[in-house]
A = this chain, B = another copy of it.
């Protein structure tokens, strides 16, 4: 197989994305929250790049069973139903609902995957399930959302641990790009503990706005077996 890891959206060549199965990772917090929402019965999640797009799409889907979700600078967008804390996405709130979501980095990453044949969302919380879903994949891109076009260690480490699981499933030797090689090396050196996450830029930023409680969920490895997969512009639950 061919496996490439890109550490930010800026690194990802559109031509490469068009031909690959793409796994989007935004540990803190978009993909963690998406996994939580789908595990708790949400019907589908529509990632949108802008607030305007989110509002427009929600209006067209029908307001009655659609929740408007997202953050800017970590905080819930004014007038939206939910922010980006995984704990907000309890079954009582999201079950049976469609979610339209716009976050600073995570949902932006999905906007560059629109031509990709298969798109999944991964976090530490569904690592094993995503690895299983990737069995037989020939051409894999792991796209880290990063932070405003920059490297984020939490996403890079998640990419590395995912890749390690995928390669452990066997198959012919993998052709890795520099990012995949680096992510794999990181996964041999670092474990996704709460201490680890609290030390990252993303962890520190969340703590600074009083949302450090979210971090424990973000490193709760394999908490769920759901695999969010893109179908007709929405991520829906597959796997588990």
Cβ–Cβ < 8 Å partners of A181 in chain B: 153, 199-200
Selected from B150, B179, B185, the residue in CB contact (under 8 A) with A185 is B185
Q: Is A201 an interface residue (CB 8 A)?
A: yes
Segment with Cβ contacts to B, from A51-59, A60-68, A186-194, A222-230 = A186-194
Task: Give chain A interface residues in 130-170, CB to chain B under 8 Å.
Answer: 149-154, 156
Q: Considering the complex, which residues of chain A in the window 5-57 have a beta carbon less than 8 Å from any beta carbon of chain B?
A: 6-8, 10-11
A182 CB-CB contact with B under 8 Å: yes
| Cβ-neighbour of A182 out of B149, B151, B178, B188 (below 8 A) | B151
Q: Which residues of B contact A7 (CB under 8 A)?
A: 7, 151
CB distance from A91 to the nearest CB of B (A): 34
Chain B residues with CB under 8 Å of A178's CB are 150-154, 156, 200-201
**Tally of A interface residues using CB under 8 Å:** 25
Q: List 22 A-B contacts (CB under 8 A).
A: A6-B151, A7-B151, A8-B11, A10-B10, A11-B149, A11-B150, A11-B151, A150-B178, A151-B151, A151-B178, A151-B179, A152-B178, A153-B178, A153-B181, A154-B178, A156-B182, A178-B200, A178-B201, A181-B199, A182-B186, A185-B185, A188-B189
